[in-house]
Every structure is written in C-alpha cells, then in structure tokens.
Chain A
Amino acid sequence: MPETRRLRNPTAYRPQQAKEEACLPASMANYPFRYVHYPHGWEWTLEHGFLPTLCSLVHRPGVNGVGTNGTGRNAKIVPDKAHAAATRNGGRIVEPNDPRLGEYRDYLTFFPTENGGRHFCFMASEATVLSNGMLRMHDCSAEWDAFRAHVRDSGIIEPMEEVVYNDLMELERGRLDRITRRVHDGRAQVGADKAQRERMDAMQKAWAAYAEKHSGRVVTPEPVSESASPEAGKRVRARKPTADEEAAVNG
C-alpha cells in the first residue's frame, strides 16, 4: 500500500558552468609513440657526455605498418608490425613501462586538445597557449638529456661502439678544419678553434672512460688542444690491455 512521503532539504540548483579545461589547439592532436634507439645514433653533450639519439616510432595507423583492430571509438592501435620492423633493422625499443626506466617510467604522456583529441609528448613537456592563440612548447631539453642519460646507463640499449665514436670524431675533425679555415680567413674570431679543440679533448677523455667501463679496453686520449701535431685529433684506436693491466682490472 503506497505511503505518504515527505521530502525536505532540496538540493540547490546551480546551472552547470563548464570549467574551461586548459587544452592545446585541435591541430596539435597526434598519436602515441615509442622511443627507439639504433646502434649508430649517438651524440656528444658537455653535461652528460655521449648520449643516445632517440628516434620516435609513431603509432599512427598506416605509418610503418601500424594498423587498427576494431571500429569506431573501440578501435585499438596495433603497432606490432612497426615494432618488428624496427627491431629487424637493429633498433631497441624503449617501452614506457620498462622497470629499468625508474623515475622515467611512463614517459609517454599527453595534453588534451580541443575537440577531444590528445597531444602525446615526453613527460617533461610544457606548453603555453597565449590568449591570441599562439602556441609555444617550452624547452625541456635538460630533462630530455637527463632521460637519455638514464636510458644509456640503464642497460636498455646497447653500449656505443668504437666505430661510432670514430665517426663522431671524424665529424668533429671536419668542424675543426672548417673553423680553422675561417679563423685564417678572418671570418671567425681568433681563438674560435680553441673551443672546438677543447670539445674534442673532452670527447676523447669521455670515450676513454666509457670504453674502459663497458669493454675493459684501455684508451689513451691524445689531447687536441695542446698539440700542434698534424696527427692531433685523429681517430684514437683502442689497444688490447697488457697482461698486467688485465690482472689489475680483474683483480
């Protein structure tokens, strides 16, 4: 039998005011990605030494074999073929959920964009959208370099090989030649080549330490800045350790 009900304390009605969530413009919408390292991809930085240059394998359907499974909003991106091709070509994929990433785990993040899209980016990314619509992505290269240093040291990627180092030094030697010519022609300040020589010295010392750490080889740097010899700055070849040196390393 229905009973009489009394209702009290009605809820105050407030028209829903959609809070404007900070979004990037719709044109910034993109696709998820994975970082991939190929064996020849290395560069030199002053702060972190040799850092891997990371490629982005974009999970965009139709690119490099990435497909989809399902339809409409339930469609899932299937990147297996793209990953297999990258691995076949010598790449090492840095998975975001790799525990060896430590604090950089889940490096793949996103900003929302207008129209419900997403802009996928590195975890340290920041953006400012001015009131006139101009967009600027902030420089997060410091965090990016620290991340790459961590990837280098984590064991996720292969160590740098001597042949790669030699190619890098060859490029630096070419730069030194060009700078030296410009100094002689008066197109560059006197002493401009000094910075390049010091850079090459730092690279040699860093390689000596890196080679010893990863392969046990003993490398003797030949300082470029202190020597006027034509041989200075030429590629450094590691030599096999002597029996005494091996015994010292192996205890």
Chain B
Amino acid sequence: MANETSYAALLAAGGAVARILSTRLHQNLYDPTSIRRLFSFVPFVGGASATQNITKVTRGYVASAATNETTGGGSRQVLSTGNYDLTVARYYAKMAPTDLLHIVGGPLDVDYLLGVLTETLDLTLTDMLTDAFQNIAGSVGTSGVNLTTDDWYDAIFYLNLQNNPRELAAVLHNQQVNDLVESVRGETGASVHRPDTQAILEAKGVGYVGTWAGVDIYQSDSVELDGGSANRVGAMFSEGVIAYQLAPVSRMLDGMMINAADILAATEEMFVERDRDADNGVSDMLVNFYPAVAEQEDLRGVRIVTDA
C-alpha cells in the first residue's frame, strides 16, 4: 500500500503536532497542614503600635487563718502577674505572570496563581508556630532514639505535673508519627484493645492523624530539626501555650491606600494586590498579611525531641 495520509507524514509536513497541553493539572505532593486552630487567637487592637502587650495573671490563692480573734490583722497577698508581647511583622509572597502567559492561556491561569498565593498565609503561620516550639523549655525524649509510647506518656505526665487541662494536642514530624505508630504496634496490656490504638494503626496522611491516649496528633513537615540535625523537635501542649495574631488589613483597604481595581482578592486577614509593570509586560501579584506568634505560657507545652 502507498500514499497513506499518516500521522508521521503530517507531523513532518504540517497538519499534526507532536503534543498538546492537557487542561488537566497534577498537583505534586506537599504538606498543606494548617495548625493554627490549635493555638490561642488574640484579636489585634492597633492603637498606634505594632506590638500588643498581653497580661498574664496567676490565680490559686488560699486564705490564711486569723491569728487572733480580735487583733493581729492579716498580711496582704500580692496578685502575681506577668506579660508577653505580640509584634506583627509584614509577610508577603509574589508571583508575576507575564502578558504572554495570559494571551496563550492554559490551566495555570490567574485564578490558580491566586490560590497558590492565598494559601501562603496558613503555611507561613504553621512555620512560625513550629519555630516557636523550639523555645519551649521542657523536653522529653532521648536524643537519637525513636519516639516511643514511653516518651508519649512522659510528655503527658510532664504536662499533668504543671496542672494542664485534659485536652492536649501534639504536633509531630512525619518521622515521629511513623515511630509512634511503630511503638504502638508493640504495645500490649491495657493499651492494645482500645479503639484509639486500633485507629492509630491505620494509614496516616498529612494534618490530623488521630488521637492516642487522649492526645490529638497532627503531622506537619514544618517540624524542625535540632542543632545536630539528628532529632525532630515536635511538641505536646494544651491550648494557650502559644498565641497568634493577624492584623486586620481591612483598615488599610478602607483607608483607600490602594486603588480598588488593583485588589485581586481580600479578606480580613490578607489581601492580594496587583502591581503592573507595563514596560516589561508583567503584572506582579503580591499577597500581604501581618502575623504575630508568641509563647504565651511555657509550662503549657513540652518539646518532644526524638530521632529524625
């Protein structure tokens, strides 16, 4: 046979192309975990300062017996207080699609880029919160040794000794979660037939991975290494160990500091603005937000430092 109109011939001479762009997008693996709901949110006040000072007060006083029925009086008890600061700082992320990108089209359009930019707020907060873990004074775990259920209970006991409430949570690195699950596998006795033990042995993923021994467990790859790069520094804590804040950017938008037409997206906590570079045919998309994170009460948390 001869004179076929073949794909190969058209490819060479014209009429067919080697490949076309599919509209389907595959998202590579990444950790989108947001852990901010585990921590205390402090509303921003403003008042001519980027720093907000929060008072801490200690209660739990008891009365003293009177020394005499009619005389002697009593000593005054001083109310014990402390304080800490939340200082907001500007954070931004920028992407710059060119005019040509808009013209040729494709699945990676402005909306997709907007989604990438707006999720930076939660991811940045997660990084800031795990950075704050590293300054918690108390720690459990043995350097260079995998996380075990013994370390888990050491952390629970440590927090209990500090009078922490019953509701506890932990944020661990992926490796620490794996090690904990491995240790739970080896448990016998009182732990083995509990529903939470059965549940924790199921496959895990990012974010919330389960509850064991009454502690909610979250996994995040933002959990840092220690100085020797041999251990991960996770944490177990009750609510109130760390506080965070997001300054309301709406004040700036209401103040008409930016042309409304240049605001691509806005919420109370962040906004995305456009900055046009006409000379170079580029439009910068810039997300802005003003977060703050601070350790509120150290004894509400304990670092879990175990083999990476």
Contact = CB atoms under 8 A, between A and B. Distances in A.
A32 to B, nearest CB: 12
A125 B143 contact: no
A144 B88 CA distance: 33
A31 B132 CA distance: 12
Given A55-B135, A55-B137, A141-B144, A62 B225 contact: no
B150 A178 contact: yes
A57 B233 CA distance: 13
Interface stretch (A7-15, A85-93, A203-211, A233-241): A85-93
Highest count of chain A CB atoms <10 Å: which of B91, B135, B189, B290: B135
A81 to B, nearest CB: 6
Interface string A125-159: 10000000000011111011101000000000000
Given A53-B305, A175-B150, A185-B189, A64 B144 contact: no
Nearest to B142: A43
A137 B225 contact: yes
A192 interface: no
B215 interface: no
A81 B228 contact: no
A223 to B, nearest CB: 22
A143 B227 CA distance: 10
Interface in B130-188: 131-132, 134-139, 142-144, 150, 154, 186, 188
A43 B143 contact: yes
A40 B137 contact: yes
Given A43-B142, A122-B227, A145-B228, A63 B132 contact: yes
Interface stretch (A17-25, A65-73, A95-103, A214-222): A65-73
Nearest to A138: B229
A86 B229 CA distance: 23
Given A64-B293, A91-B137, A141-B144, A121 B132 contact: no
Contacts of A54: 227
B134 A140 contact: no
Interface in B213-241: 224-231, 233
Instruction: Tell me whether chain A's interface is mostly helix, strand or loop, or mixed.
Output: mixed
A65 B87 contact: yes
A65 B53 CA distance: 10
B183 to A, nearest CB: 12
A63 B128 contact: yes
A58 interface: yes
A61 B150 CA distance: 36
Contacts of B290: 62
Nearest to B131: A58
Interface in B274-308: 290-295, 298, 303, 305, 308
B208 interface: no
B293 A62 contact: yes
B172 to A, nearest CB: 17
A198 to B, nearest CB: 15
A48 B150 CA distance: 24
A171 interface: yes
B89 A121 contact: no
Contact of B134 (A56, A68, A138): A56
Highest count of chain A CB atoms <10 Å: which of B137, B142, B291, B292: B137
Highest count of chain B CB atoms <10 Å: which of A57, A91, A141, A171: A141
Interface string A26-68: 0000010101101011010100000001111110111111111
Contacts of B136: 55
B85 A56 contact: no
Contacts of B89: 61-62, 66-68
A144 B189 contact: no
Highest count of chain B CB atoms <10 Å: which of A40, A53, A90, A187: A53
B84 interface: yes
A145 B231 CA distance: 12
Given A43-B139, A139-B308, 9 more contacts: A43-B142, A61-B90, A62-B291, A67-B51, A121-B229, A122-B229, A140-B230, A141-B231, A143-B228
**A-B CB proximity, top 8 nearest:** A144-B228, A61-B89, A62-B89, A38-B137, A141-B228, A141-B230, A56-B134, A137-B229
Interface of A: 31, 33, 35-36, 38, 40-41, 43, 45, 53-58, 60-68, 81, 85-86, 89-91, 121-122, 124-125, 137-141, 143-145, 147, 171, 174-175, 178, 185, 187
9 contacts: A43-B142, A62-B91, A63-B128, A65-B51, A81-B85, A81-B87, A85-B84, A139-B308, A144-B227
